Structure 1
Amino acid sequence: MAAVSNISCYCFASLTGLKELREQLIAFCKERSLKGTILLSTEGINFFIAGGEAQIRELVELLRTIPGLEGINPKWSPSDDQPFSRMLVRIKKEIIAFGVEGIEPANYTSPRIEARELKQWLDEGRPVILYDTRNDYEVRLGTFKNAIPAGVDHFRQFPDAVARLPDELKDAPIVTFCTGGIRCEKAAPFMESVGFKNVYQLEGGILKYFEEVGGDHYEGECFVFDRRVGVDPGLRETSTDVCFACQAPLDENEQADPRFVQGVSCPHCYKPDEVRQAEQIVKRQAALARVCSPLPGSEPYDNVCPVRIPTGCDELTLLDALCRMFSHVEREFWVGLFAEGKLLKADGKPASPEVIVRSGEKYLRLLPGTIEAPVATEIRVLHEDESIVVLHKPAPLPMHPSGRYHRHTLQWLVNAAWSPEKPRAVHRLDANTTGLVLFGRSRRRAGLLQEGFKNGSIEKVYLARVKGHPEQDEFECNAPISRDSSRMGTRTVDEDDGHEARTLFKVISRDSDGTSLLEARPLTGRTNQIRIHLWQLGFPILGDQAYLSEGELGETQ
């Protein structure tokens, strides 16, 4: 004997006092260890409940005391296990979502046909159209022979499905059916409202048909909305499972398919990695387009730039520290910012120029009404998987917030497009450099990738169009690069105190216009390294506004 009794039922009736009724039903069901779902609406009730038979009968008797629900007659079926995990009572606008005004089953429904009468019609071969109003994933598990499926993924799509039916069916006898009959309470009257003249609804749906006449004229199982997934014409639970990802019912063969991964995919929704990645890239590209149009810094906003005190400025006054950190900026500039209240402590309060600072402390520079200069936005997503993202960065586009750019940076735009996730760039490209940028999708992954760049296991290769024709096909530059930048943000060669830097070059072509195409491989990662080394060698990059011919420096980056 089955340990659990299952009932399902709906009733269209004008209900009031829904909040009080909800509290009453929750308490009543929990006291009796009943589980399932009850939907309440001003248009009626719809419920699926499981538990002990005696307790279920008590609930039915309680519901019959509610005005309008006196005649409810639930469908009963057994199961070995409790198919529900908890007890829910919810208040909804509709007990079956349809969204069409004027369809009110409490006031009017189409003519009903009983299960035995329908079976007789089918036995006699009467000309009748069987119209399955259920969703496609339900129909896939089983339906009446020769039935026409609505072809919908949600009941709200039903009006569009009816509009696709040929006009000649408007005079034909049509029997609508669904799992338990509730959808047909709205589907059949709707069909009548749009001109179908001979519409019936199967009383009690497929489950009542199974209960009264068995499986004659029916093929397969019936999808049910609980853990049982499917029942056979004897109303017994079948071995059918359901895909968590797409809700498709799965028979034993489909469950044995290698494309079925519990909670991930099944033969109906499985997509190869390359297809999923391509679809994801399309979505990311659209997100980037939304973030970049308009550019987020094109309207005035109050920008706040952090200033971190380095070790070399420990125990100086804040004013002296700023002058040392930004040696190319006049002292009067900082004095003016203090006077205007635009230099702040970490808590946002104005900072004093005479405060003694400690290394590691953070201060803030306020830039009210900031409008950032335009940047290139043709960012392309080339690859994305669970670990990394590879982007094509256009130029000009800074990598990270710095100087006059905060929002108009690759990292800020990526954070906005991937939100709430924050992929981390694991290497740098100059603002004026076009190329690939690798991001780690977690702190740990980014750290591992950064180590790969540091130890040389990940190589960086650049192509550079330069002025002039180098004599050697392969050459290198080891010129040290200055530790500090100039007023324009540029660095130069510093033989005495510069950072070690090394770049390998290879000529790909020497062209008739006086330029050459070079391959550049930086073995260290200094700011502007390739540009500086080519400038030092007398082959500046074509179009570079900072590192010019004849060893000259430009006025802009």
Structure 2
Amino acid sequence: MQLRNKYSKEELIKQLESEDFQRKTFSFYRYVNFDEPNTYRDELFEKWFQLNCKGRIYIAKEGINAQMSIPEHNTDAFFTDLNNRKELANMPIKWAIEDDGKSFFKLIIKVRPKIVADGLDDNTFDTTKVGNHLSPIEFHNEIGKEDTIVIDMRNHYESEVGHFENAICPDVDTFREEIEMVVNDFGEDKDKKFLLYCTGGIRCEKASAYLKHHGFEDVNQLHGGIIAYAQEIKQLGIESKFRGKNFVFDERLGESINNEIISKCHQCGKACDTHTNCANDDCHLLFIQCDECKEHYQGCCTDECTDIIQLPMEERVLLRSKFHDKYSKSQIYRQRIRPKLLKK
């Protein structure tokens, strides 16, 4: 019984590229109680590995959060298995908007304390008292109304490449920072209507409950998130109020919603919405880089990182601890990259 991946990244990518069938990318989540998450994890891995599933799935006592791809010819078998599990039956599925089938190259299923690392103490508020779930078209129609506040519940690197019209996009690195900022900054507006949104809806479950706990009265959330919104708006032929690209947590790092580019390369200021990770593995910062800067900096975020990847491995190892002691990833972005962009 195989319960772990046994191949290297290079081998897995080679296997993916050699496939002669199509894959479909999708995501889902559910808050449901798992008494034995480790046992449940192993059951899922064994079955989904047999079906050649790939993806990143987190399981906790509180539920499951999954982003996956599956061969088209195994779709029926996968959903039969899903629906045969009472905890996962009739699961709402969010299908990818732009899908080349290369979103994941291996299957990862991990047991974690929470299915989303929100940094909140769930014992301090009632997580079941969530906001009103608005359908995509209901959410669409509420945007722009008087005394309505739209808040992007994602991190800065997500909202930077795409967001709803008139949305407030807090400049934060973590969900915990954001939710506390919203409570503090909008404490005098608790009687207004709040519209919350995120990628697939999962973060808004906790966010809406947290706001209601702190006295916000009219809290609403986009059911199914940006992914569901993009699909429904496209089906209805309505002009999207979401501008730009929806950041996704797989190899694609984003899918365009309305073909508009609203962000800039962090190095030259050119219109660009392509995220990449710094080629210096000891940095690995996620940032926006155009093709020209990618060539110039050799895929790195700064001249310093470009110099580092030219060094012999022995010297890079010596620099490694010093580099991490001096900078956190948020510091690299805020102190070394963003100021350059703001000068453009």
Shared fold per TM-score greater than 0.5:
yes
Q: Secondary structure at the residue paired with 2:158?
A: helix
The alpha-carbon distance between structure 1 residues 40 and 169, as it changes in their structure 2 partners (threshold 3 A), is: same
Distance 2:172 2:52 in 1: 36
Q: Which residue in 1 is equivalent to 2:194?
A: 174
Within 5 A, what are the aligned runs for 1:194-233? 194-214=214-234, 216-233=240-257
Distance 1:420 1:111 in 2: 47
Residues 64-106 of structure 1: CA distance to partner in whole angstroms, max 9, x if unpaired?
333332231111126223221210111011001123223564x
The alpha-carbon distance between structure 1 residues 76 and 234, as it changes in their structure 2 partners (threshold 3 A), is: farther
Aligned residue among 294, 297, 300 for 1:261? 297
Shift of 1:419: 9.3
Q: Which residue in 2 is equivalent to 1:48?
A: 67
Q: Which residue in 2 is equivalent to 1:4?
A: 23
Residues 289-309 of structure 1: CA distance to partner in whole angstroms, max 9, x if unpaired?
xxxxxxxxxxxxxxxxxxxxx
Q: Secondary structure at the residue paired with 1:112?
A: strand
Contact 2:25 2:101 in 1 (8 A): no
Contact 1:135 1:155 in 2 (8 A): yes
Q: Which residue in 1 is equivalent to 2:274?
A: 240
Shift of 1:204: 0.5
Which one-letter code corresponds to 2:92 in the other structure? Answer: N
More helix by share: 2
The higher radius of gyration belongs to 1
Contact 1:211 1:233 in 2 (8 A): no
Distance 1:419 1:148 in 2: 37
Q: Which residue in 1 is equivalent to 2:34?
A: 15
Which one-letter code corresponds to 2:87 in the other structure? Answer: G
Q: Which residue in 2 is equivalent to 1:67?
A: 86
Shift of 1:420: 7.5
Shift of 1:15: 1.4
The alpha-carbon distance between structure 1 residues 6 and 46, as it changes in their structure 2 partners (threshold 3 A), is: same
Contact 1:104 1:186 in 2 (8 A): no
Contact 1:110 1:200 in 2 (8 A): yes
Distance 2:129 2:51 in 1: 36
1:190 aligns with 2:210: yes
Distance 2:216 2:321 in 1: 50
Scaled by the length of structure 1, what TM-score is found? Answer: 0.45
Aligned residue among 48, 55, 58 for 1:36? 55
Residues 451-472 of structure 1: CA distance to partner in whole angstroms, max 9, x if unpaired?
xxxxxxxxxxxxxxxxxxxxxx
Within 5 A, what are the aligned runs for 1:314-463? none
The count of residues paired between Structure 1 and Structure 2 equals 272
1:115 aligns with 2:139: no
Distance 2:220 2:42 in 1: 37
Q: Secondary structure at the residue paired with 2:185?
A: coil
Within 5 A, what are the aligned runs for 1:99-138? 99-102=120-123, 103=125, 105=127, 107-122=128-143, 125-138=145-158
Distance 1:226 1:209 in 2: 19
Unmatched tracts of structure 1, length 5 or more: 278-384, 388-416, 422-557
Contact 1:211 1:234 in 2 (8 A): no
Distance 1:70 1:258 in 2: 45
Contact 1:158 1:187 in 2 (8 A): no
Shift of 1:257: 2.6
Unmatched tracts of structure 2, length 5 or more: 1-20, 260-271, 279-283, 313-317, 323-344
Contact 2:143 2:150 in 1 (8 A): no
Shift of 1:126: 4.7
The alpha-carbon distance between structure 1 residues 211 and 87, as it changes in their structure 2 partners (threshold 3 A), is: same
Which one-letter code corresponds to 1:240 in the other structure? Answer: T
Distance 1:177 1:7 in 2: 18
Which one-letter code corresponds to 2:277 in the other structure? Answer: C
The alpha-carbon distance between structure 1 residues 151 and 42, as it changes in their structure 2 partners (threshold 3 A), is: same
Structure 1 segments, 4+ long, off by >6 Å, are: 417-421
The alpha-carbon distance between structure 1 residues 30 and 156, as it changes in their structure 2 partners (threshold 3 A), is: same
CA RMSD after TM alignment:
3.2
Contact 2:246 2:256 in 1 (8 A): yes
Within 5 A, what are the aligned runs for 1:471-482? none
Distance 1:153 1:222 in 2: 17
Q: Secondary structure at the residue paired with 2:69?
A: strand
Scaled by the length of structure 2, what TM-score is found? Answer: 0.70
The alpha-carbon distance between structure 1 residues 97 and 65, as it changes in their structure 2 partners (threshold 3 A), is: same
Which one-letter code corresponds to 2:188 in the other structure? Answer: E
Distance 1:3 1:234 in 2: 25
Distance 1:53 1:185 in 2: 31
The alpha-carbon distance between structure 1 residues 195 and 27, as it changes in their structure 2 partners (threshold 3 A), is: same
Distance 1:101 1:85 in 2: 33
Q: Which has the higher contact order (CA 8 A, sep 6+)?
A: 2
Distance 1:223 1:60 in 2: 26
Which one-letter code corresponds to 1:159 in the other structure? Answer: I
Q: Which residue in 1 is equivalent to 2:8?
A: none
